[in-house]
Amino acid sequence: MRSAIGCVMRDCDGDWIRGCKSMIGLVVPCTATLWSIFYGLKMAWENDEKSVIVECDCEEAVALISNVDPTFDMFELVYMIRNLMSEEWELCDLVHIASSVNIAVTGLANSVISDDGGLVDLNLTPSYMLPLLVADKRI
């Protein structure tokens, strides 16, 4: 499957801090989600955020990170995520959420699905994201 990722970093009020997006190629959805979690954590750490709650709508990805399986074909990626989560955060939690409340991330990933690849860092809120961020706040 052709897959893209989107990461949205928001403050406690749901307002945009930073984001990133990338076309990542032919991977299954769970693998795309794992890459999204990795880049989101990396972005938060580099942004000097000390408390993060990673919201993920892929129950399988949450389970893989919570209960490491060394036979999983993307074990190294899960290991990199767990290493990032073990940094000196004040808070670093991973929670499963419904896809219906993950509208902004889905919109960001969909905006790059036809691109050729490469991680795009978004310091400013793209205008097309504004209604999606508002919709997420209402839910």
Give the DSSP per-residue string, 2-33.
EEEEEEEEE-TTS-EEEEEEEEEEE--HHHHH
The H or E element containing residue 120 is: strand 120-122
CATH class of the domain at 2-134: alpha beta
**Whether the Cβ atoms of residue 45 and residue 62 lie closer than 8 Å to each other:** no
Q: What pLDDT, in 10s, does the model give residues 41-58?
A: 999 999 999 999 999 999
Q: What pLDDT, in 10s, does the model give residues 84-134?
A: 999 999 999 999 999 888 899 999 998 987 777 789 999 999 999 999 998
Give the angle 131-111-122 at the CA atoms, nearest 5°: 75
